Amino acid sequence: MHAIFQQGHPEAPVLVLLHGTGGDEHSLLEVGKTLNQQASLLSIRGNVLENGMPRFFRRLAEGVYDEADLAARGAELNEFIQEAAEKYQFSLSNVVLVGYSNGANIAIHLLLSDPTFQQAILFHPMYPVDNIPTQSLPETRIFMSLGTHDPIVPVAESQHVIQLFEDRQASVTTLWTRSHQLTYEEVQQAQEWLHA
């Protein structure tokens, strides 16, 4: 996998940046710097291509995931993050997953499948997956932004993601915006949540 690592203060969070469809390892660097200027940044490029656009896992159609591929790519991403933690000498307990759209969706998979990851910022997530682990996540903190008129993620799907984590006792903070586009307001609110 292709990634950029920018070393920050050793006691600051490590933001793992996961772009949306068509993005790359450069797409969320400025967002990461805005969220926390002292944080280390690990920005990863998805290694699945859809019509030439990088993604983190395959889908069968809009809103229909290839769940086997999601599981395989999620395990691959998890292993990559763990190897990066060893290489760059940071603790996985300091990791905050920061995902936008497709990146947020694979971040959900990591949160649900590995209790090591306990903090995440999810911009416009969606998770229409049938086989979801049921374990409780009381130590998990999540900020998520969702759109009231999102052309990609219907409101019912947004509410499904909220319920997914609330049902597992995670602490969930939500911000509703209008569309699917990532806005300054979302990043600002996520920054305040991260520093709280």
Based on the residue annotation, tell me whether 27 is a catalytic residue of this protein: no
Based on the residue annotation, tell me whether 101 is a catalytic residue of this protein: yes
In a 3-state reduction of DSSP, which class is residue 4?
strand
The pairing of beta strand 141-147 with beta strand 171-177: parallel
Among candidate residues 19, 27, 150, 158, the one labeled active-site is 150
Number of domains in the chain: 1
Cα–Cα dist 183/175, whole Å = 11
Find the domain containing 27 and state its range: 3-195
Query: What CATH number is associated with residue 22?
Result: 3.40.50.1820
What does the block give as tokens for 70?
A: 């999601």
Among candidate residues 101, 124, 145, 158, the one labeled active-site is 101
Cα–Cα dist 172/155, whole Å = 17
- The pTM (predicted TM-score) of the whole model is 0.97
- What pLDDT digit, counting tens, does each position of 42-77 carry? 999 999 999 999 999 999 988 899 999 999 999 999
- What pLDDT digit, counting tens, does each position of 116-169 carry? 999 999 999 999 998 898 899 999 999 999 999 999 999 999 999 999 999 999
State the sign of the Cα–Cα–Cα–Cα dihedral 60, 143, 36, 150. positive
Based on the residue annotation, tell me whether 167 is a catalytic residue of this protein: no
Integer-rounded Cα radius of gyration of the chain: 15
Cα–Cα dist 186/124, whole Å = 10
